[in-house]
Amino acid sequence: MMRAGGLLKLVVLVSVLFVAVFLAFELFESNVNFNLGKVFATKPQHHRCGLSKSCPENHFAFKITSGAASVVGPKMCFQDNILMSGVKNNIGRGINIALLNANRKGLKLLAINRLVGTPGKTGELTKSDSFDMWSGDVNLLIKFLKEIEDGSIVMMATFDDPATKLNDEARNLIADLGSSSISILGFRDNWVFVGGKGIKTKSPFEQHLKNNAETNKYEGWPEVLEMEGCIPVKQE
């Protein structure tokens, strides 16, 4: 009986040891696979300007955001380059404008210059400014608009109040850039727009949100507007 009992205890002990070793190997293998998974995990694909998807070939990527009330300023991105933002300290109350010279030749130059690390001659920011439409001089905006060169891409975003000082001349000049909503832009409206000098049709890149006390997200201001898209490269 004693021998049988001892043999049974030995069998139980060996069985427990076997299970413990098996579980230890399983745990080790699981940790190895998990760590390898983290090492070889595919990183999310980056799209220029953080777009939801990449633009087709021969297109420029952009994203533009309006200001939030009178607190957070607008932001403009073009081909992964931040053109205007609060961080860059080049925005202001009213209408913010960025001008770019972009064509097919410029797209090729931009790609080459990124490889060699030198600034491109086209496809980049040529001029930017902000115009206070609450207490500023609308004539400064009119002068700026009249000096835009043909073929320029024009990006605009509002911050706080974009319309109090706007007159018909300024509105007509912006309409000539392809805007459909500039004629009805009002006090504290939010508006983002991408057009061009010499455009023959109305731009598809425009959003406008009225200042409405019943629907405003912020007290006295509507919700922030964000627009992204792909601009076809001008064919020469």
Q: How many CA atoms lie within 13 A of 124 on its CB side?
A: 11
Going residue by residue through the chain (236 aa), what tens digit of pLDDT does each one get? Answer: 445 566 666 666 666 666 565 555 555 555 545 454 454 455 667 889 999 899 999 899 999 999 988 889 999 999 999 999 999 999 999 999 999 986 544 433 333 333 333 333 346 899 999 999 999 999 999 999 999 999 999 999 999 999 999 999 999 999 999 999 999 999 999 999 999 999 889 999 999 999 998 989 888 899 999 999 999 887 65
Among 53, 33, 18, 59, smallest CA distance to 231 is for: 59
Q: What are phi and psi of 223, to 5 degrees?
A: -65, 155
Identify the residue whose tokens are 């207490």. Answer: 135
CA distance 115 to 105: 16
Amino acid at 129: D
Model confidence, pTM: 0.74
Amino acid at 182: I
Output helix, strand, coil percentages for the chain, rounded to the nearest 5.
Answer: 30, 25, 40
CA distance 70 to 95: 13
Q: Where are the domains of the chain?
A: 8-41, 48-105+119-232
CA end-to-end span of the chain: 102
